[in-house]
């Protein structure tokens, strides 16, 4: 069975493709590590073909809808940012990319920028579009945890403002490459250590810089276990983020869009602050947004 169109989420470090059938069904999904970060401009089309060529139909060109970093200046083709406040950009704002292979018709959905304070997103806007396709009247705040966690204030179907935190990347660097790596590797996560660290960082954000090395010293002098130390490191960083993101979540209706440990950590930290929070599965949210874009493409074609 050949696909009707391809949905593509192309990030810095990954390429994910869904082969889409009638009615938005997924016939197959494929992924590779050929992310934007290790591709030159001319390598995007071959990287995509390498993943899907066997499934291409013999007939007319196949629509390919792409979101993510493939639309950046260093990507396949630049899709200029939309500017907040705006609805998540859809197919109408997409950039058509000329391909050497006539079997493909490629559209790249742009990201969003904010002028003050300066901020950008590419990929998350499509997750937000997916969320809004399912929950059209939502008025509140989305938290999308990840390497770079995004907080977005949503109202009347638009992204009003947003802010990015490098918490996930800072955690990974400290966990894997800093002096703390000796103290946080191994062991089971300790919820109470995470909760205490979040509270410390929210109530006294200035102390976070000193508390980081105390993790190492605590392991040396008090024998603190690696699981408790890792949870404390995560809690200090997420707590500092929550202190800085307070205008986003305080008194708001919050949805954490994600799954697994990281979404659970944000949910727990927000709940402990008395915030109104629910978690919705992030898996598939980008696909949901790409599907919404394809629906619009079909409508436009009719």
Binder of a second copy out of 241, 249, 277, 286 (CB under 8 A): 241
State yes or no: residue 177 binds a second copy (CB under 8 A): yes
Question: Cβ of residue 209: shortest distance to a second copy, in angstroms?
Answer: 5
Residue of 228, 244, 234 whose CA lies nearest to 266: 234
Q: What share of the chain is helix, strand, coil (3-state, %, to 5)?
A: 45, 25, 30
Q: Which two tokens stand for residue 198?
A: 């979040």
Q: Which parts of 59-118 interact with a second copy (CB under 8 A)?
A: 113-115, 117-118
The angle, 0 to 180 degrees and rounded to 10, between the axes of the packed helices 260-272 and 191-203 is 50
Question: Cβ of residue 240: shortest distance to a second copy, in angstroms?
Answer: 5
Q: Which two tokens stand for residue 100?
A: 């050497």
Q: Hey, which residues does 258 pair with through a beta bridge?
A: 281
Establish how many alpha carbons lie within 13 A of residue 20's alpha carbon, considering only the half-sphere containing its beta carbon. Answer: 22
Q: Which two tokens stand for residue 163?
A: 């802010």
| 3-state secondary structure string across 196-227 | HHHHHHHHCHHHHHHHHHHHHHHHHHHCCCHH
State yes or no: residue 243 binds a second copy (CB under 8 A): yes
Binder of a second copy out of 246, 250, 278, 281 (CB under 8 A): 246
Question: Cβ of residue 233: shortest distance to a second copy, in angstroms?
Answer: 11
Q: Give the nearer residue to a second copy in terms of CB position, either 64 or 275.
A: 275
Binder of a second copy out of 50, 95, 212, 280 (CB under 8 A): 212
Q: Give the nearer residue to a second copy in terms of CB position, either 164 or 279.
A: 164
Q: Which parts of 153-172 interact with a second copy (CB under 8 A)?
A: 163-167, 169-170
Q: Give the nearer residue to a second copy in terms of CB position, either 63 or 110.
A: 110
Q: Give the nearer residue to a second copy in terms of CB position, either 18 or 81.
A: 81
Site string for a second copy, 180-209 (x = CB under 8 A): x------------------------xxxxx
Size of residue set near a second copy by CB under 8 A: 44
Q: Which two tokens stand for residue 280?
A: 């919705």
CB proximity list for 146: less than 8 A, separation 6 or greater: 168, 258, 262
Alpha carbons 230 and 2: distance in angstroms, whole number: 47
Phi/psi for 277 (5° steps) reads: -140, 140
Alpha carbons 6 and 154: distance in angstroms, whole number: 28
Question: Cβ of residue 256: shortest distance to a second copy, in angstroms?
Answer: 17
Q: Give the nearer residue to a second copy in terms of CB position, either 74 or 92.
A: 74
Question: Cβ of residue 23: shortest distance to a second copy, in angstroms?
Answer: 38
Question: Cβ of residue 83: shortest distance to a second copy, in angstroms?
Answer: 10
Give Cα 222 to chain centroid, integer Å. Answer: 37
Question: Cβ of residue 36: shortest distance to a second copy, in angstroms?
Answer: 12
Alpha carbons 252 and 246: distance in angstroms, whole number: 10
Q: Give the nearer residue to a second copy in terms of CB position, either 16 or 216.
A: 216
Q: Let me know how long the chain is.
A: 302
Q: Contact residues for a second copy (CB under 8 A)?
A: 113-115, 117-120, 148, 163-167, 169-170, 173-174, 177-180, 205-214, 216-218, 220-222, 237, 240-241, 243-246
């Amino acid at each position: 069975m050949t696909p009707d169109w391809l949905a593509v989420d192309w990030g810095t470090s990954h390429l994910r493709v869904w082969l889409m059938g009638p009615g938005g069904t997924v016939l197959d999904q494929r992924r590779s590590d050929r992310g934007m970060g290790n591709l030159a401009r001319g390598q995007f089309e071959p990287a995509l073909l390498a993943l899907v060529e066997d499934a291409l139909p013999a007939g007319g060109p196949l629509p390919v809808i792409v979101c993510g970093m493939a639309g950046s200046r260093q990507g396949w083709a630049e899709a200029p940012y939309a500017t907040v406040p705006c609805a998540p950009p859809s197919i109408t704002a997409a950039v058509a990319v000329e391909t050497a292979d006539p079997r493909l018709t490629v559209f790249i959905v742009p990201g969003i920028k904010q002028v003050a304070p300066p901020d950008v997103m590419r990929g998350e806007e499509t997750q937000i579009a997916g969320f809004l396709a399912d929950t059209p009247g939502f008025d509140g705040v989305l938290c999308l945890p990840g390497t770079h966690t995004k907080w977005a204030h949503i109202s009347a179907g638009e992204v009003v403002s947003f802010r990015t935190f490098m918490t996930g990347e800072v955690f990974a660097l400290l966990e894997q490459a800093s002096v703390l790596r000796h103290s946080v590797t191994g062991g089971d996560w300790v919820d109470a250590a995470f909760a205490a660290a979040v509270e410390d960082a929210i109530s006294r954000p200035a102390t976070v810089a000193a508390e980081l090395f105390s993790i190492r010293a605590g392991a040396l002098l008090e024998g603190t276990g690696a699981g408790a130390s890792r949870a404390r490191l995560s809690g200090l960083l997420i707590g500092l983020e929550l202190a800085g993101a307070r205008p986003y979540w305080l008194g708001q209706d919050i949805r954490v869009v994600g799954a697994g440990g990281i979404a659970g950590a944000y949910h727990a930290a927000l709940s402990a602050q008395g915030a109104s929070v629910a978690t919705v599965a992030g898996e598939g949210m980008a696909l949901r947004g790409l599907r919404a874009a394809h629906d619009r493409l079909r409508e436009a074609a009719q």
